[in-house]
Structure 1
């Protein structure tokens, strides 16, 4: 299974290796972020990367948004360490939750200015920005080198229902007969505005194909990773998106749900490019980008993640962006519109995330014009089963949540 990105031929392969002498290696116990990134590297989500970046690669990505070989890549992927007895050339065993996960061949140990990374990647050094805070909290040194998984992953419920590797995504697309696949990025429970965006994107991606032949599919690819207090719990996001097709609001003939392990950096336009690369690796042909895609606070303008694609050549990115504006419910039109499509802006009812959350917190069922009743019911069931009675992330959830996956002995 191969794919062409930019100027290089990129193999999408599963980087898994048998190693019998793991116990003889030096060990590092890694945090969840690095574990998730290793899994994503190993299965090809982050192709063409085969490991964590060296100094030259970090420097090129930070300054030019490209790898040294010219391939487009927007965010540095780095393995930080505190001073340890590790030398260049070592093969290190990486454990997660006390069990073997992977090995890394240490090609280089280096330092890089973390504040400079923040300035270039996030366009700010404000510690309130979650990506900046993450970067500045990294250790003082970095390891560059290739990684391989050495253990089997067992995904827990409900994640096991939706885990697909890039190769498996492509196999499913082929089985469904999809010629075009539009990716929908999300980290939220869906309201009817999201549903509208997906359906509109389906028509946009369908282009010259006959509408009566369902050869275009929608891939809802949920980002599973670090959570903040007040976010929707991961389990609820997956199960509520599944409810859209389960209850017929988007036909299963054109709908598929999966997830990617990645801690959001909230890097706005640069992260939009990364999302496009990941979904291109999955086999998608189109990608939806809405208002404030991958942004946070007021660090980026509302459509800055659209504008960055003006500077990206088609040969650099084998996926076609679909740009969508903010939408709202128009009571006068009786449907979902945006400021370009109708002239009733003064009467609009916005899909306010904070308002919707407050309604849900009060256990008030939103109107079906805002959220499908089955989606709401699924959200509440997920809260009881996985969120300790709460559909939003709490301290209790962060402390006691079920792991996404377990490792073999």
Structure 2
């Protein structure tokens, strides 16, 4: 791993190559870092080669420019395992535990679905389509939780909303698992798509689905750049499943898929804005847009976890129960 630290802090702490450093979180010991290397780096060079831009309007670039001026690198050893708090404790598994779970279920082909949203019918059909395309035995929903900004869905609604699809039988329980990934998005577009695929490979997945503008932001990347990059790479040990757009077609009176439905001019987007308007409007959705069972869970999460809102507010940021807690060592 690498950790950004200022030159002044390294000097004041007396940290040098070969040192062992205790890392803390929530003011408690967490892990030990064996310092193998300390080096400087060019932030603009890093931004350009990761994000393809040095524009500070890009959130990943802005994050990179906020780093301290030195990287400390070396292996880490966990010394104080964190406690995963409810409701995430039901869904958190290490990569080894996930692979063991897949073996128990008899899954040899597993397709990963990354999400940061409450599931609408487009997500549901994207998972089903990728499952069929990969000839898989299982779907792993890998919900990204962690860093949040006002207006995002609260993490609890995302995780419990996806699991409701399994509980209600919209996707068979024996082919669907919900899990969590603690990761702060960098919005690096196609390069982050490759990273996501490698992370899910480590979890035991054999396939990873990618939709439009995966890990993108603004207009920095092409709509299907995350699809195209895999054509330029050698075999990574995990296959990409490339999906186009799903929408509601009023002519077909069903969810439709780009390339199959001939009524594109009539399409009704299942956009995040549209789904949010349903959740905020207090009306019951049609099942072709958002499952009523999922909406019920979202509303329950708003009351239980979101201080009255299914979307991140300042109150949520200040008072939410952390995803994990670090126990005090005796």
Q: With structure 2 as the length reference, what TM-score do the two structures score?
A: 0.95
Spell out, residue by residue over 1:273-296, the C-alpha distance to the aligned partner (whole angstroms, 9 max, x if none).
011101111111111011011111
1:202 and 2:131 are equivalent in the alignment: yes
Aligned residues: 323
Aligned to 2:250: 331
* SS in structure 2 at match of 1:253: helix
1:372 and 2:291 are equivalent in the alignment: yes
Partners of 2:234 and 2:189 lie apart in 1 by: 19
Partners of 2:176 and 2:245 lie apart in 1 by: 22
* SS in structure 1 at match of 2:173: coil
Aligned to 1:352: 271
Partners of 1:137 and 1:364 lie apart in 2 by: 43
Partners of 2:222 and 2:146 lie apart in 1 by: 25
* SS in structure 2 at match of 1:148: strand
1:80 and 2:80 are equivalent in the alignment: no
Aligned to 1:97: 26
Q: Do 1:269 and 1:293's aligned partners in 2 also have CA atoms closer than 8 Å?
A: yes
* SS in structure 2 at match of 1:398: helix
Aligned to 1:262: 183
Partners of 1:125 and 1:361 lie apart in 2 by: 37
Aligned pair partner of 1:124 in 39, 53, 56: 53
Q: Do 1:225 and 1:264's aligned partners in 2 also have CA atoms closer than 8 Å?
A: no
Spell out, residue by residue over 1:154-179, the C-alpha distance to the aligned partner (whole angstroms, 9 max, x if none).
11000100011111111111111112
Aligned to 2:96: 167
* SS in structure 2 at match of 1:403: coil
Partners of 1:362 and 1:100 lie apart in 2 by: 45
Long gaps (5+) in structure 1: 1-51, 53-77, 207-214
Partners of 1:318 and 1:108 lie apart in 2 by: 30
1:338 Cα deviation (Å)? 2.6
Aligned 1:28-39 pairs, distance under 5 A: none
Aligned to 2:327: 408
1:192 Cα deviation (Å)? 0.2
1:318 and 2:247 are equivalent in the alignment: no
Aligned pair partner of 1:285 in 206, 209, 225: 206
Aligned to 1:276: 197
1:381 and 2:300 are equivalent in the alignment: yes
1:178 and 2:113 are equivalent in the alignment: no
Aligned pair partner of 1:225 in 134, 139, 146: 146
Aligned to 2:259: 340
Partners of 1:205 and 1:339 lie apart in 2 by: 18
Partners of 1:132 and 1:401 lie apart in 2 by: 28
1:225 Cα deviation (Å)? 2.0
Aligned 1:6-21 pairs, distance under 5 A: none
Spell out, residue by residue over 1:82-119, the C-alpha distance to the aligned partner (whole angstroms, 9 max, x if none).
22222221111111111000110111111101121111
Aligned to 1:191: 120
Partners of 2:121 and 2:140 lie apart in 1 by: 17
